[in-house]
Structure 1
């Protein structure tokens, strides 16, 4: 019996532009990071949300890959 490990939302360390928030969200949901970045740019309140997530999401460590 195989136990599936739940993935945790983290900041990306390999495909980031600023803090890795959008890339981390994209990796979590298995989608392209460009779509998440466009969504964050197009929504006015998302700038505040981005910075909140940038300081509260943990970094993805190599042991979690």
Structure 2
């Protein structure tokens, strides 16, 4: 499956980091660590996470749209 979506399995909070990791071929813990470290920098990281959580479809909806 291509595209960016929140997977059903492997979520910790909303599945955003797991979805990004899956899309870009990275380990989920790597993306989570980078997300946590980015929170040490000034910027809207938390807001971006929330927006992605709301905007990214669940895996179930992504699969349904693909068929």
Please, what TM-score do these two structures have when normalized by structure 2? 0.76
Match for 2:34 among 39, 49, 52? Answer: 39
Task: Extract unaligned runs of 5+ from structure 2.
Answer: none
| Aligned-CA RMSD value | 1.9
Deviation of 1:52 after TM superposition, in Å, equals: 0.6
Q: Distance in 1 between matches of 2:22 and 2:62?
A: 16
Q: Distance in 2 between matches of 1:48 and 1:37?
A: 15
Task: Extract unaligned runs of 5+ from structure 1.
Answer: none
- 1:1-12 aligned at under 5 Å gives the runs 7-12=2-7
Q: How many residues are aligned here? A: 59
Instruction: Write 1 or 2 for the structure with the bigger share of helix.
Output: 2
| Deviating 4+ runs (over 3 angstroms) | none
